[in-house]
């Protein structure tokens, strides 16, 4: 009797403190269709009063405000304070911090290749089999997520080290629906249709594509996404996996073919705004502006789900701009492959708080709170998908669920020297007019040099 | 003599032209950056900064009709202005991306379902339709128009007041000062002693020591980041202000010692020897004679070191950490640009916000800068 009385007093106090916190949290606990029960259950199971957890992530600016609002609920539920930090050079920062012995408790990174480096040096704590089983059971296509978070440890054993949280969708083509209506174009359903539409726009006197590869020190990465998408549309997923592990060389006809598929769009002066010469020099952030200028400089732009951030101010997704799935060849019977990217959370400095934070990321509420705001996709099957903050997100979620194949961004999985080095520069060379086979052998050489 | 004088005058011209070219090369981009800092990101991505200074004629991106619906008899009417905040003059307009100049200003266009749209020269529009516009997509208007120059202060309010990046600017400002001031004073104190010893005290291995200091000038500091942080963690300093002061001191010392030693060596030997004969100790010579005479060199090095620590991002991030509470000004400005960067308007504005203090320091001490520079290099 007495025990249950205390328990109910504790619950009362807890719900009072959750309600009180509503002032600076975007959603009031207990309201809306959120899975608040999971938060309450989590709060009851974890009491971390006075503990401090340092989190290091890739999100800055508006994204930082978003992630801090999610972590705010964790603080309310457990009493632990979270110190979130980020930096423009987060890839180098995390290496310096782990090497020097002052790592954060939890780190979040979008590059599996970099995580593998840290894991093999022994800086990352394994998450354990429970988390692995949880991922298999609760994430759609759970096995592919488990394999994404599994790395080879310092002892040569494969274990789950990182927890995927927050997914970006890459296989999207953005367009202005009204420009399509004005010209009488239809959204293509197959790659054959897309190529025909590209030619038709040219015949009508327009320019179909805006492509920009510029991105400061990372110039070239948008082209690697093109090639990966083309790889999935011309080859089987197994060939894609072999390519990423370099079990087939870069000079393989399959890879060279995918590069040339990208060249079909990017190397034709008529197909690209500003001509093929402008592809490598246009910044990827300025590139979509061409769709919204008058008269339109282009009709389509292939880019990941984050790109609306760089649309002109006031552009409304769904009204002024929309997207369709970057289609697959009808004739190749490879289904509907989807290319994505995402961030993975892992423990670099073990503590009860770090474990609790990873457990918090498994609760549906940690996903729902972010997806109800913006820029968040999740494969978590236990969430209420009605909560997606916009129709665009919901539509992207559907593309993710309808995918017959999901593959992670290949350049992120390759060794850093290739995936964030020679592959980027090679694609810039290719866009500048160099032969595909020559570019491929150059990238293969740099990969051989790393072995 | 005539010959020499003639040579001098042609040389003066060359110098003047060279100075002019250098000044232009610096002022021109700075002016562009200043103008850009008063423009919105859309303006920056669509036209160059020089275009912002005059009235621009051209085709503008589509503007969607927007306003309160009013019922007049059996018509549903929306009225308003396309350019509520500027004096833009419309010459031609259209509702299709295929024919953006289909109608002249003041014309009425027939849209589908019997709807009509009129756009006047000043951008005032009147949209009428047989049924309510509620829930329908309103038409877009493409305009060809003359836009007078337009500037905004919103970038500055954004940079100065936004807290999306976690840390407020006042906090970051104080953090930077906390880093920069001790990081300037400590190396000067140490280097002045060392430079005096290396210049005027005889001891074995002095030349070797000087050579070693010069050698240290070429060591890239990136090389030392991890071992140094490891050391700080091992001896218990960890990440904090003490660590960043020590790091800046260490990285600044070789240049400081080299610069000050070269200056002090050039001081007249007679004064120092006289002082020695009169019985002054080395410490007295240093305090009473060397320090006052070396002031230009000290000041010029102080400027160097202060500017470098003020603008530094790397060392502060590594040794101080990236928490919101310890973030320096440069770190905060970088974080403001968001996860994918590339926001020119923030970049331009940040540059002018962070330049204020270094400019003040420079103008306050610039007369020492040239003297000190020459002192270090010319003997």
Alpha-carbon dihedral A59, A60, A61, A64, rounded to 10 degrees: 50
Which one has a higher pLDDT value, B70 or B366?
A: B70
Tokens standing for residue A138: 């609760």
Element (H, E) at A6: helix A2-20
Q: Give the minimum alpha-carbon distance from A64 to chain B in angstroms, rounded to a whole number.
A: 7
Mean pLDDT along residues A229-241: 93
- In this complex, do B322 and A56 lie within 8 Å of one another by their Cβ atoms? yes
Output the pLDDT for position A8: 46
**Which ranges of A235-282 would DSSP assign to H, the alpha helix?**
237-244, 253-266
Residue pLDDT, tens place only, B263-295: 899 888 888 889 989 999 989 999 988 998 888
- In this complex, do A294 and B97 lie within 8 Å of one another by their Cβ atoms? yes
Angle between helix B344-377 and B329-336 (nearest 10) = 150
Mean pLDDT along residues A154-170: 92
Q: Identify the three-state secondary structure at position B118.
A: strand
- Residue with token string 């289909």: B102
Q: Which residues contact A171 (CB under 8 A, 6 or more apart)?
A: A229, A325, A326, A337, A338, A339, A340, A399
Element (H, E) at B62: strand B56-64
Q: Give the minimum alpha-carbon distance from B204 to chain A in angstroms, rounded to a whole number.
A: 37
Q: Say if residues A364 and A380 touch (Cβ distance below 8 Å).
A: yes
If pLDDT is split at 50, 70 and 90, which confidence band does A194 have? Answer: very high
Output the pLDDT for position B8: 62
Residue pLDDT, tens place only, B88-138: 889 899 988 888 888 998 888 888 778 889 998 888 899 988 888 887 888
Residue pLDDT, tens place only, A31-53: 888 989 899 999 988 888 889 99
Q: Say if residues B257 and B195 touch (Cβ distance below 8 Å).
A: yes
Q: Which residues contact B190 (CB under 8 A, 6 or more apart)?
A: B249, B253, B256
Alpha carbons B314 and B321: distance in angstroms, whole number: 10
Enumerate the β-bridge partners of residue A164.
A344
Q: Is the dihedral of CA A329, A332, A338, A344 positive or negative?
A: negative
Output the pLDDT for position A90: 85
Enumerate the β-bridge partners of residue B63.
B141
Alpha carbons A290 and A238: distance in angstroms, whole number: 37
- In this complex, do A87 and B324 lie within 8 Å of one another by their Cβ atoms? no
Average pLDDT, chain B: 86
**Read out DSSP for A286-338?**
TGGGGGGSSS-S-SEEE--TTGGGGSPTT--BTTTBEEEE-PPPGGGT---EE
Q: Say if residues A55 and A75 touch (Cβ distance below 8 Å).
A: no
Average pLDDT, chain A: 88
Q: Give the minimum alpha-carbon distance from A180 to chain B in angstroms, rounded to a whole number.
A: 9
Output the pLDDT for position B189: 92
Closest chain A residue to the Cα of B229, Cα to Cα: A100
Q: Is the pLDDT at A422 greater than 90, yes or no?
A: yes
Residue A54 φ/ψ, nearest 5 degrees? -95, 135
Alpha carbons A141 and B218: distance in angstroms, whole number: 53
The answer to pTM > 0.90 is no
Count of CB atoms situated within 10 Å of the CB of A402: 11
Output the pLDDT for position B372: 63
Residue B14 φ/ψ, nearest 5 degrees? -60, -45
Residue B317 φ/ψ, nearest 5 degrees? -65, -40
Q: Nearest CB to A294: which of B40, B59, B323? A: B59
The alpha carbon of A27 is separated from its chain's Cα centroid by a whole number of angstroms, namely 25
Output the pLDDT for position A140: 80
State how beta strands B116-119 and B108-110 pair. Answer: antiparallel
A-chain residues within 8 Å CB-CB of B167? none
Complete domains list, chain A, with CATH: 51-169+340-408 (3.40.190.10), 172-339+412-450 (3.40.190.10)
Q: Is B336 on the interface with A (CB under 8 A)?
A: yes
If pLDDT is split at 50, 70 and 90, which confidence band does B215 have? Answer: very high
Alpha carbons A37 and B249: distance in angstroms, whole number: 54
B-chain residues within 8 Å CB-CB of A306? 340
Alpha carbons A308 and A375: distance in angstroms, whole number: 10
């Amino acid at each position: 009797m007495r025990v249950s009385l205390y328990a109910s007093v504790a619950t009362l106090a807890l719900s009072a403190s959750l309600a009180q916190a509503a002032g600076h949290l975007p959603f009031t606990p207990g309201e809306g269709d959120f899975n608040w029960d999971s938060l309450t259950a989590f709060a009851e199971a974890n009491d971390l009063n006075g503990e401090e957890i340092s989190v290091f992530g890739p999100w800055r600016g508006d994204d930082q405000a978003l992630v801090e609002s999610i972590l705010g609920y964790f603080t309310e539920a457990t009493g632990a304070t979270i110190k979130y930090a980020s930096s423009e050079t987060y890839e180098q920062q995390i290496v310096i911090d782990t090497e020097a012995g002052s790592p954060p408790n939890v780190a979040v990174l979008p590059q599996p290749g970099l995580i593998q480096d840290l894991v093999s040096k022994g800086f990352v704590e394994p998450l354990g089999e429970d988390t692995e089983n949880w991922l298999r059971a609760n994430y759609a296509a759970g096995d592919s997520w488990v394999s994404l978070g599994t790395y080879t440890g310092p002892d040569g054993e494969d274990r789950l080290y990182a927890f995927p949280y927050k997914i970006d969708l890459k296989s999207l083509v953005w367009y202005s629906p009204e420009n399509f209506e004005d010209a009488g174009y239809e959204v293509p359903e197959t790659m054959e249709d897309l190529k025909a539409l590209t030619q038709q726009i040219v015949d009508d006197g327009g320019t179909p594509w805006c492509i920009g590869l510029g991105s400061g020190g990372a110039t070239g990465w948008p082209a690697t996404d093109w090639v990966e998408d083309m790889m999935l549309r011309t080859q089987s997923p197994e060939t894609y996996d072999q390519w990423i592990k370099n079990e087939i060389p870069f000079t393989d006809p399959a890879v060279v073919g995918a590069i040339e598929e990208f060249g079909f769009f990017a190397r034709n002066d008529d197909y690209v705004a500003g001509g093929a010469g402008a592809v490598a020099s246009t910044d990827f952030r300025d590139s979509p502006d061409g769709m919204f200028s008058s008269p339109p400089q282009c009709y389509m732009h292939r880019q990941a789900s984050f790109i609306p951030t760089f649309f002109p101010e006031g552009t409304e997704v769904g009204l002024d701009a929309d997207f369709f799935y970057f289609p697959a060849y009808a004739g190749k019977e490879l289904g509907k492959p989807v290319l994505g990217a995402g961030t993975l959370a892992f423990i670099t400095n073990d503590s009860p708080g770090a474990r609790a934070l990873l457990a918090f990321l498994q609760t549906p509420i940690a996903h729902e709170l972010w997806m109800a705001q913006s820029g968040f996709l999740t494969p978590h099957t236990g969430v209420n998908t009605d909560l997606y903050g916009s129709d665009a997100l919901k539509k992207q979620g559907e593309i993710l669920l309808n995918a017959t194949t999901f593959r992670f961004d290949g350049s992120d999985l390759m060794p850093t020297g290739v995936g964030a080095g020679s592959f980027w520069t090679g694609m810039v060379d290719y866009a500048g007019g160099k032969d595909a086979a020559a570019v491929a052998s150059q990238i293969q050489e740099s990969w051989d040099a790393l072995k | 003599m005539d010959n020499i004088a003639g040579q001098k005058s042609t040389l003066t011209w060359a110098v003047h032209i060279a100075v002019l070219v250098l000044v232009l090369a610096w002022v021109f981009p700075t002016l562009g950056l200043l103008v850009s800092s008063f423009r919105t990101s859309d303006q920056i991505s669509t036209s160059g900064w020089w275009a912002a200074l005059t009235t621009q004629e051209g085709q503008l991106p589509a503007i969607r009709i927007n306003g309160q619906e009013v019922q007049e008899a059996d018509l549903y009417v929306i009225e308003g202005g396309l350019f509520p905040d500027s004096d833009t003059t419309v010459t031609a307009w259209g509702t299709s991306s295929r024919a953006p100049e289909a109608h002249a200003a003041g014309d009425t266009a027939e849209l589908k379902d019997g709807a009509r749209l009129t756009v006047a020269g000043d951008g005032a529009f009147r949209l009428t339709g047989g049924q309510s516009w509620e829930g329908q997509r309103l038409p877009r208007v493409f305009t060809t128009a003359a836009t007078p120059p337009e500037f905004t202060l919103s970038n500055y309010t954004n940079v100065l007041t936004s807290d999306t990046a976690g840390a407020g600017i006042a906090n970051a400002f104080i953090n930077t000062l906390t880093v920069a001031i001790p990081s300037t004073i400590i190396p000067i104190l140490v280097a002045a002693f060392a430079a005096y010893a290396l210049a005027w005290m005889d001891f074995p291995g002095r030349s070797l020591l000087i050579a070693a200091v010069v050698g240290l000038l070429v060591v890239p500091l990136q090389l030392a980041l991890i071992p140094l942080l490891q050391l700080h963690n091992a001896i218990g300093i960890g990440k904090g202000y003490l660590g960043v002061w020590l790091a800046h001191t260490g990285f600044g010392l070789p240049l400081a010692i080299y610069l000050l030693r070269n200056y002090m060596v050039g001081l007249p030997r007679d004064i120092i020897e006289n002082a020695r004969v009169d019985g002054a100790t080395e410490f007295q010579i240093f305090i009473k004679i060397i320090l006052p005479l070396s002031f230009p060199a000290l000041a010029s090095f102080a400027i160097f070191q202060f500017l470098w620590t003020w603008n530094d991002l790397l060392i502060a991030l590594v040794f101080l950490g990236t928490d919101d509470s310890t973030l320096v000004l440069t770190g905060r400005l970088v974080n403001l640009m968001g996860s994918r960067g590339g926001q020119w308007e923030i970049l331009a504005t940040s540059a002018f916000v962070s330049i204020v203090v270094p400019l003040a320091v420079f103008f306050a001490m610039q007369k020492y800068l040239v003297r000190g520079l020459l002192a270090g290099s010319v003997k």
